Amino acid sequence: MGFQKRTPRIEILFTGSELLEGRPNTHQNYLCLKLKNAGFSVIKATTVPDDQAAIALEIKDWSLRSDALIICGGLGPTFDDLSREAVSEALKRPLIYHPEIFKAIKARFSLYRLPIPAENKKQAYLIEGAQMIDNPRGSAPGQALEVPRKGENPQSLFLLPGPFAEMSPLFESVVLPRLRFLYGRNLFSEHLLLHLSGISESAADEKLSSVVGAFNGKAHFTILGLSAQVDFHALIQGKTAQEAQRKMRNLKAEILKKVGPFVFGEGEETLESALGRALLKAKKTLAVAESCTAGGLASRITSVPGSSDYFKGGVIAYSNEVKKDMLGVQPKTLSRFGAVSPECAVEMAEGVRQKMKSSVGISITGIAGPSGGSAKKPVGLVYVGLAGLTPKPFSRRLHLLGDRETVRKRAASCALHFSLQELLLGEK
């Protein structure tokens, strides 16, 4: 049976009423990026409630469009776990009980000296023709089955458990290799993800328009503006792995000609990891003083493994008393200019640098909202102070839009960006 030359089409179906009631779907970004990097085209990602008819309808529609469908969730033992039943209904394949699966589930419960509820027996049913995907991290096994079609490789359907810690290992160890075997044997692709800072999404798009135009039909591009950064994706394919790599080298060179000065990293790199790398290279240490972000900046810095090599610590200076007593902000600064001012930001940055005996000090002070703003100092006004990166400490003024949490997150991102920018300038 010949393999397809077109880009394989994949769909993802998320089940769970809670996903339609405000809970974030963290699985979608993970799966879409993994599939895209492997050269597959995700043509649809859908979320449906815990409703058997709704799930079955999506499965029936999928069979007309795509090569594979990945279903996440609905494999638990409770009344609202309905993915098995929906697939059985849509494909007209019965559910078959496998006593050996239930025996394994009981053995798992006995390890923790827990009684097994009778309802867990539901998890021992497989759709006719399906292969069980062992789930070492949970009681719900996954399932994989094929749907024959004329003249092409069979369609594939995968059922994966909902919890991320269970879903992701099964996806990477079983689903992705199976997709590559069935649909990607002659598919060689290279993916590039560049992170830019110091430039807006629209400005980056304008600079890259000639590259996108020149490679139209030869590569796929996406651009996304985030907090204080822009992500630019490029995907290119070749008849061999070597050809795909050569094409990507040429494409990357053209991209860097346009936006190279704004690129701070690629792939899994983040602003905080790039800053850490720059600090280590410059042999500098860092301390932070935070008011409106209340530890958000320090949390991001310390999320990087090995950050203890350059991060000294931080002070959450929410009150003016802490700003004065812990950071040495002058009382006259607060009385004359206020806590949200460039003067206060500079003194906070220099104060924490001296307090922690670090090379660099970063401070953030602002009005995150929703209250506390005024005509002169509106909600979203933020000052970032930097000390130790230039001969004299200085501050940057920001007016950030969004709700309270958005302002706080964007303020931390901007502080990371400004610090990284100064460190990179210092290298030149």
Locate CATH 3.40.980.10 in the chain: 9-183
Which residues have C-beta within 8 Å of that of residue 323, sequence separation ≥ 6? 291, 317, 329, 334, 339, 344, 348
Domain covering 9-183 assigned CATH 3.20.20.10 in the classification: no
Give me the amino acid identity at 415: A
| Nearest in space to 333 (alpha carbons), one of 356, 310, 317 | 317
Topology, domain 271-427: Maf protein (3.90.950)
- What beta strand segments (E) does 201-290 contain? 219-226, 229-238, 263-266, 286-290
Which residues have C-beta within 8 Å of that of residue 46, sequence separation ≥ 6? 11, 12, 13, 14, 58
- HSE (side-chain half, CA atoms, 13 Å) at 152: 14
Locate CATH 3.30.70.2860 in the chain: 188-266
Question: What string of pLDDT tens digits covers the 428 residues of the chain?
Answer: 333 445 788 999 999 999 998 888 889 989 998 898 888 889 999 999 999 999 999 999 887 889 999 999 999 899 999 999 999 999 999 999 999 999 988 887 777 677 778 888 899 999 999 999 999 888 889 999 999 887 777 899 999 999 999 999 999 999 999 998 888 777 788 889 999 988 889 999 999 999 999 998 889 899 998 877 899 999 898 888 899 999 999 999 999 999 998 999 998 899 999 999 999 999 999 999 999 999 999 999 999 999 999 999 999 999 999 999 999 999 999 999 999 999 999 999 999 999 999 999 999 999 999 999 999 999 999 999 999 999 999 999 999 998 999 999 999 999 999 999 999 887 76
pLDDT at 428: 62
Distances (CA, A) of 107 to 77, 78, 79, 135, 169: 16, 19, 23, 13, 21
Distance, in Å, from the CA atom of 347 to the CA atom of 343, rounded to the nearest integer, reads 6
> Facing residues of 289 across strands?
315, 363
How would you classify residue 314: left for phi > 0, otherwise alpha for psi between -120 and 50, otherwise beta?
beta
pLDDT at 349: 98
CB burial of residue 251 (10 Å; 0-12, 13-18, 19+): buried
User: Pairing between strand 41-48 and 142-147?
Assistant: unpaired
pLDDT at 111: 72
Q: Kindly report the CA angle at 393 between 392 and 396, in degrees rounded to 5?
A: 130
pLDDT at 1: 32
Locate CATH 3.90.950.20 in the chain: 271-427
Distance, in Å, from the CA atom of 121 to the CA atom of 81, rounded to the nearest integer, reads 13
CB burial of residue 405 (10 Å; 0-12, 13-18, 19+): exposed
Give me the amino acid identity at 140: A
Distances (CA, A) of 372 to 87, 93, 317, 338, 376: 53, 61, 17, 13, 11
pLDDT at 2: 35
Number of H helices, E strands in the chain: 14, 17
Distance, in Å, from the CA atom of 17 to the CA atom of 51, rounded to the nearest integer, reads 8
Residues 188-266, CATH architecture? 2-Layer Sandwich (3.30)
C-alpha radius of gyration, the chain, whole number: 27
